[in-house]
Amino acid sequence: MTSDSNNSKYILFMVVSMAGFAIEDAVIKQLAIDLPISQVLMLIGLTGGGMFWVMARLRSVHLLHASMATRKFVVRSFCELGAAISFVTAIVYASLGASSAILQATPLAVALGGMLFLKQSVSARQWFVILIGFCGVILIIQPGMQGFHPASLLAVLSVLFLATRDLITRSIASSIDPIAISFWSFFALFVAGIVTIPLYGTFSPIQGSHAGLLVLSMIAGTGAYLAVVMATRGGDVAVVAPFRYSRLVFAMVLAVVFFDEAITWPIVAGSALIVGSGLLTLRAG
**Cβ proximity of 163 and 109 under 8 Å:** yes
pLDDT class of 70 with cuts at 50, 70, 90: confident
Which residues, at least 6 apart from 14, have a Cβ–Cβ distance to it below 8 Å? 227, 228, 231, 232, 235, 240, 241, 243, 244, 246
For range 244-258, the mean pLDDT: 95
> What is the structure's pLDDT at 231?
84
pTM for the predicted model, two decimal places: 0.88
For range 160-177, the mean pLDDT: 78
Is a pLDDT exceeding 90 seen at residue 215? yes
Please state, in angstroms and rounded to a whole number, the distance separating the CA atoms of residues 231 and 263. Answer: 29
Q: At what angle do helices 124-141 and 96-103 cross, to 10 degrees?
A: 170
Pick from 206, 246, 239, 208: nearest CA to 224: 246
What are the tens digits of pLDDT across the range 85-138?
Answer: 999 999 999 999 999 999 999 988 988 888 877 776 767 888 898 899 999 999
